[in-house]
């Protein structure tokens, strides 16, 4: 529950190592938000911001954010950062983050808003996210709608098919609802993660 660039290392053999398991949680079932600080803000999933139950798919959201950042060189959702300085005094960092989500992904699904309202009525500690129920309407007025693909600013020097596969993978990870995101095992089967193996196989055949 704390995937971010700082927690992903590469050793001398080009093997990826994930570190810092201080926020690690059991994967048995769905976890209900209890007011603890979960995930670093720029990589935190919508369901956590909204105080909803969550599971391993919060990490899939974080992975999507990280992959885009590796390509563009900038955080995908940097709510509460200097680029929001002109209006940050009018909103807290969570509000700013959710506004960023709305810009790229569209309005928060009604089902998630309603579920979050129920969580608040049940006295679940939503920390600084109590404003979220007003976000769906206000954010669409304040923010110009964009598409997720608009963050793709790196020249496409590689094979077009590779980039298309990459963005298909990314858009699957960055979905509002965790129900619509792949779980880790499903994500591992995506064609993008097997491109190199396919190319190596072709090279051996040649």
- What are the pLDDT digits (tens) for 93-121? 677 788 788 878 888 888 888 888 666 65
**pLDDT value of position 78:** 85
Q: What distance, in Å, lies between the first and last C-alpha atoms of the chain?
A: 43
- What are the pLDDT digits (tens) for 126-141? 343 433 434 444 444 3
Question: Across the chain, what does the average pLDDT equal?
Answer: 73
94 token code pair: 């969570």
Q: Quick one: 140 exposed, middle or buried, by C-beta within 10 A (0-12, 13-18, 19+)?
A: middle
Length of the chain: 206
Do residues 162 and 195 lie in contact, with contact meaning Cβ atoms separated by under 8 Å? yes
Bridge partners (DSSP) of residue 10 are: 16
Q: How far apart are CA 156 and CA 5, in angstroms?
A: 23
2 belongs to the catalytic site: yes
- Does 69 score more than 80 pLDDT? yes
Is residue 156 within a helix (H) or strand (E), and if so which, with residue range?
none
- In order of their start, the domains of the chain are 5-154 (1.10.510.10), 161-174+186-206 (no CATH)
Angle at which helices 160-173 and 57-72 cross, to 10°: 140
Catalytic residue among 2, 125, 183, 205: 2
CB-based contacts of 31: which residues, under 8 Å, 6+ apart?
A: 25, 53, 54, 55
Model-level pTM?
0.74
């Amino acid at each position: 529950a704390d995937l971010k660039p700082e927690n992903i290392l590469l050793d001398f053999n080009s093997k990826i190592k994930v570190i810092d398991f201080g926020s690690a949680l059991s994967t048995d079932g769905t976890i209900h938000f209890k007011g603890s600080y979960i995930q670093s803000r720029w990589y935190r999933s919508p369901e956590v911001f909204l105080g909803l139950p969550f599971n391993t798919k919060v990490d899939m959201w974080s992975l999507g954010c990280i992959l885009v950042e590796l390509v563009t060189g900038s955080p995908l959702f940097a709510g509460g950062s200097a680029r929001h300085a002109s209006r940050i005094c009018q909103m807290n960092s969570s509000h700013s983050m959710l506004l960023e989500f709305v810009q790229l992904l569209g309005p928060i699904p009604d089902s998630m808003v309603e579920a979050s309202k129920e969580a608040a009525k049940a006295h679940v500690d939503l920390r600084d996210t109590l404003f979220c129920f007003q976000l769906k309407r206000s954010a669409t007025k304040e923010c110009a709608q964009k598409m997720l693909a608009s963050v793709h600013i790196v020249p496409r020097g590689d094979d077009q098919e590779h980039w298309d596969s990459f963005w298909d993978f990314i858009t699957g990870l960055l979905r509002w609802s965790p129900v619509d995101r792949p779980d880790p095992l499903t994500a591992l089967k995506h064609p993008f993660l097997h491109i190199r193996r396919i190319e190596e196989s072709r090279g051996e055949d040649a």
